[in-house]
Amino acid sequence: MSDYNELTPEEQQVLLHKGTEMPFTGPLTDHFEVGGHYVCKQCNTPLYRSEHKFHSNCGWPAFDDEIEGAVKKEVDADGYRVEILCAQCDGHLGHVFEGEGLTAKNIRHCVNSISMEFVAVD
């Protein structure tokens, strides 16, 4: 993991140990700057474009699409939910939900704010 960013203990709890940050506490929950990417906090892989983000009022950043090939999906340990991970480093991002009718794409990536950083793109 020497090529990865150093993580705080809180970031490690989420990204490496599949934890969840408290709802409505993450700095990216209400962040809606346009013209950028949300990248993995551990490896800097671009995961989502700013235009993918939407208000879901769920307490965590929500996206209705991902950058192709950046996010992988696996059945969660609970056997019920679908976990989303960074396809590059396997860092835990959150979970994906379908059929809620919140956007035209009818999908919500519910992502821990602590798992990402926003990078403006010129």
Residue of 40, 86, 89, 110 with catalytic role: 110
Active site residue 86: no
Q: What is the C-alpha to C-alpha distance for residues 20 and 69, in angstroms, rounded to an integer?
A: 23
Report the b/e string of 13-35 with b at 16+ CB within 10 A: bbbeebeebeeeebebbeeeeee
Give the 3-state secondary structure of residue 83.
Answer: strand
Among 58, 33, 43, CA closest to 112: 58
Catalytic positions, please?
A: 110
